[in-house]
Amino acid sequence: MADTGSRRWWALGLIALAQFMVIMDTSIIGVALPEMQKDLGFSSGGLSWVFNAYVIALGGLLLLGGRLSDLFGARRLFTTGWVVTLAGSVVAALAGTAWVELLGRVLQGGGAALIAPSALTLLMMIFGSRPQELPKALALYGAAAPAGGTAGVFLGGVITEWLSWPWIFWLYVPISLVAIIATARLMPEVPAKRGSVDVLGAATVTAGLALTVFAVVRAPQVGWGVFETLGPLTGGLLLLVLFVAVQRVRRVPLVRLGIFRTPNLGGANLAQFLLGAAWIPMWYFLNLYLQQVLGYGAFASGAALLPMTVLIVVLMVAVAPKLIAKLGAKPMIVGGLGALAAGLLWLSFARPTGNFVVDVLPASLVAALGQALAFIPSLGRAISSAKPEEGGLAAGIVNTAYQVGSALGLAAMTAVGLSFGADRHDDPVVMTGGFSAAFLGAAGIAMVGGFLAMATLRTDRSAAEPSVPVGDKDAVAR
């Protein structure tokens, strides 16, 4: 069994690998995009959809993935997700045209939408009854995300330079095969439950989230006041309203709306949404500043992000669990979002004639401190309040909150940056001003997140949260 002896830690390693790969898939393609454009015939505007297709499929299908995990069993969905990821990777690697490449990326995003919520559910199944080990398990899971983002930059540069861009996708084939085999040996089996899938609810929420994200990520290219943006945005929001209406009348809904009345669950998911909306734009524009202003290559830019990544991993694994036990979740979330806002504010003072040691390193470390402090307790709060039978749903909701927040935050801050000249490659002063505006906007998001967390989260009775088994009645009371 995966919950006995050292095997549960091997299982955690596989769960962390899943998180690592899901996040790496958003960063590994960045360096390869120019070569993909040349080989596959992408237009300048269409090239961004190699990234967007993955994010939209991931964000749109996460809630469905969470429900399927509860219904058919987390281990089965985890395995299925790796199979779909494997298929998408092969399609993307063999693509000879732009539309086939995008199809592969959609399949990869769909696979990730099955993997992510089932991975969190498996983590809570294995460690939820071990209060002393759960914070460490969540910390290792959380640390895999920034590690995956930085590794993607490194690997993308190395593979593109020494091999060719299809090998970026071939990399996922052996990893997926190993994960499929290891899942059968390491993960606990959960029998399928009787129930049905709310097909109408799944269709409306998936289409609504996809259309909304589609409209926002496309807006910086076509403009905010044009029909190409307002049409999909209106349609997406109407579908999301319809989804809520459907959930209110369904006997077995995709998302039981009453789950949001669970104390702290809504506030924790809001914190995750705004954390993603502030953090991902920072990572994106910091890469641009390093490469387009300071003149770093892709590989050197990845190296410049290593101190920030190492600090996050160390803090999440070695420091955050102890601080959560001592201080409780709410002070950590509020303080972490505040530190992230301070780091982003500091980055907004980066100079067009700056250097890494003065303009990037100290500010990025402060931002990393904030991310590390806020991520684990907000994730733990969002998961630990759910009933055991709704673990997959809770995992799907929190993953959706973070991923959709990341996509919308990046799109919005891209629009802010472009409006202040972030695309003025001929004028480093103006371009840096555009990056500064994006950093300031992201700082505002983090600051708002801190205030909302302060207003919506309840103070712990016991500082030990999130070291609470899933479904523990005391967790709900807190």
Using the predicted structure, report yes or no on whether residue 103 has a pLDDT greater than 90: yes
CA distances for 396 relative to 52, 94, 130, 391, angstroms = 20, 31, 22, 9
Query: Residue with structure tokens 């991993």?
Result: 313
Q: How confident is the model at residue 188 (pLDDT cuts 50, 70, 90)?
A: confident
Residue with the bigger pLDDT between 307 and 34: it is 307
Express as a percent the part of the chain with pLDDT over 90.
28
Averaged pLDDT for residues 180-188: 89
pLDDT at 469 over 70: no
Asked if the model's pLDDT at residue 475 lies above 50, the reply is no
Residue 361: its pLDDT value, please?
Answer: 93
Cis status of the peptide bond prior to 466, with omega within 30 of 0: yes
Q: Give pLDDT tens digits for 341-369.
A: 999 999 999 999 888 999 999 999 999 99
How far apart are the C-alpha atoms of 332 and 327, rounded to whole Å?
Answer: 7
Query: In the predicted model, is pLDDT for residue 336 greater than 80?
Result: yes
Residues 443-461, mean pLDDT to the nearest whole number: 87
Closest CA to 460 of 260, 273, 276, 268: 268
Domains and CATH numbers, the chain: 1-197 (1.20.1250.20), 261-478 (1.20.1250.20)
Helices (H) and strands (E) in the chain, counts: 19, 0
pLDDT at 465: 44
What is the tens place of the pLDDT at every residue in 386-442? 666 666 677 778 877 887 888 788 878 888 888 888 878 788 899 999 999 999 999
pLDDT at residue 46 in the model = 65
Would you state the torsion angle of the CA atoms of residues 95, 42, 304, 406, taken in this order, to the nearest 10 degrees? -90
- Which pLDDT score, from 0 to 100, does residue 346 have? 96
More confident residue, 398 or 168: 168
Please enumerate in sequence order all residues whose Cβ is within 8 A of that of 351, keeping only pairs 6 or more positions apart, or say none: 359, 432
Supply the pTM of this predicted model: 0.78
Which is nearest to 112 in space by CA: 67, 56, 161? 56
More confident residue, 415 or 333: 333
Confidence of residue 275 (pLDDT cuts 50, 70, 90): very high
Higher per-residue confidence, 139 vs 349? 349
Confidence band for 134, pLDDT divided at 50, 70 and 90: confident
**For position 409, what pLDDT does the model report?**
86
pLDDT score, position 476: 27
Mean per-residue pLDDT for 235-243? 93
User: Could you give phi then psi for residue 466, rounded to 5 degrees?
Assistant: -95, 30
Give the per-residue pLDDT at 466: 43
Question: Given a cut of 80, is residue 285 above it in pLDDT?
Answer: yes
Q: What angle is formed at CA 443 by the lines to CA 440 and CA 448, rounded to 5 degrees? A: 130
Write down the pLDDT at residue 47: 66
Cα 233 to Cα 216: distance, rounded to the nearest angstrom: 7
Token pair 């429900």 is found at: 67
pLDDT at 106: 92
Segment 271-282 shows an average pLDDT of 90
| 402 vs 424: CA distance, rounded Å | 30
Does the structure show a pLDDT above 50 at 473?
A: no
Please check whether residue 285 is in contact with residue 417, taking contact to mean a CB–CB distance below 8 angstroms. Answer: yes
Q: What is the pLDDT of residue 216?
A: 79
Q: How far apart are CA 214 and CA 311, in angstroms?
A: 33
**Lowest mean pLDDT, pick from 21-25, 157-161, 396-400, 471-475:** 471-475
